Amino acid sequence: MAAAKVAPAVVNISNVSTVQGYFGLMVGKSVGCGTIIDPDGTILTCAHVVVDPQGPRTVFKRKVDVTLQDGRVFEGTVLNADFQSDIAVVKIKSKTALPTANFGSSSKLQPGDWVIALGCPLFLQNTITAGIVSCVDRKSSDLGLGGARREYLQTDCSINEGNSGGPLVNLDGEVVGINIMKVADAAGLSFAVPIDSVIKIVEQFRQNGRVVRPWLGLKMLDLNNMVIEQLKERDVSFPDVTKGVLVPVVTPGSPGEHAGFRPGDVVIEFDGKPVGSIKEIIDLMENKVGVPIKVLVKRARNQAKILTVVPEEAKPSF
């Protein structure tokens, strides 16, 4: 059974924090889940489970209580937390090897696939719910979330308080996502961070101690046939393209402005590869902060221009 494969690696995480309230110091407790991904006690969870989103976001060596499925309780140390993705890593020390979960591939998921969510909703440990994948690339903007563009897995698994940080698994018992939230007062609307993205975040934790994100200072928009037709109706000089990424806004003083980008440019190639979506651009410049990148754009009346842009590290946005 898929759930049985991963259940021993699912843990309960309790975070007790003291914050300054209106009437003085107040003690709060948050409860969530995590997944052991290494026998040495490395645990994946959500940042909001281990760090109070309303309080100071001090991460280094923050302590949490971790309860295993067999009832053992450990003191956990928060090693890293990235608030933009809501992913964190906790470490516990055990004298014996711990059970672990295996990763699957979220890129192989399709709408309609069955998935299973494991966690501790409402303090009920070892709770399992099942559902289907509703969408494999739900954009953060669709959910009204600000900050950088992110994509989530949308499922109809029942997710409640305490499920955050728990694994979303496929029918092979492989972790394909980390459950992070549900839509309040709406049944069947739950979201998870795709495991392919989580793996990259964990690797950046190991290499840099944080997630380094490139920034161009460009507002971008995916183009499709309908949008292209509408833009041509408004402006007959709009370039003849079948796909690409429109740049409607260039931030003053940004790497994009320094490279010569103009509002109205359509990105056709990025780093020598054809692009048709913002996601493709983000993927291509993922590890290229400070590295010059050639970009082919088309402008009004089909004027082609090759620009060289040097991404900077983005400032954290919470």
- 243-246, Cβ contacts within 8 angstroms, sequence gap of 24 or more: 243/276, 244/268, 244/275, 244/276, 244/298, 245/220, 245/221, 245/275, 245/276, 245/277, 245/278, 245/281, 246/220, 246/221, 246/222
Q: Are 266 and 222 a contacting pair, CB within 8 Å?
A: no
Give the count of beta carbons closer than 10 Å to the beta carbon of residue 62. Answer: 19
Active-site residue identified among 82, 86, 190, 197? 86
- Asked if residues 33 and 164 have their Cβ atoms less than 8 Å apart, the reply is yes
> Tokens 């760090």, residue?
51
Which residues is 190 bridged to in the sheet? 155, 182
Longest dimension (CA), the chain: 70
Please tell me which residue in 30, 106, 158, 164 is annotated as part of the active site: 164
Our CA angle for 113, 128, 140, nearest 5°, is 55
70: annotated active-site residue: no
Structure tokens at 99: 């059970």
Q: How far is CA 233 from each of CA 61, 236, 237, 238, 239, rounded to the nearest angstrom?
A: 57, 6, 10, 9, 12
The reply to whether 86 belongs to the active site is: yes
Residue among 27, 125, 43, 30 at smallest CA distance from 77? 43
Please tell me what DSSP assigns to residue 311: P
Asked if 125 and 69 count as a contact pair (C-beta separation under 8 A), the reply is yes
Q: List Cβ neighbours of 144 (8 Å cut-off, separation of 6 or more).
A: none
Among the listed residues 14, 30, 48, 197, the single catalytic one is 48
Active site residue 141: no
For the annotated catalytic residues, the residue numbers are 48, 86, 164
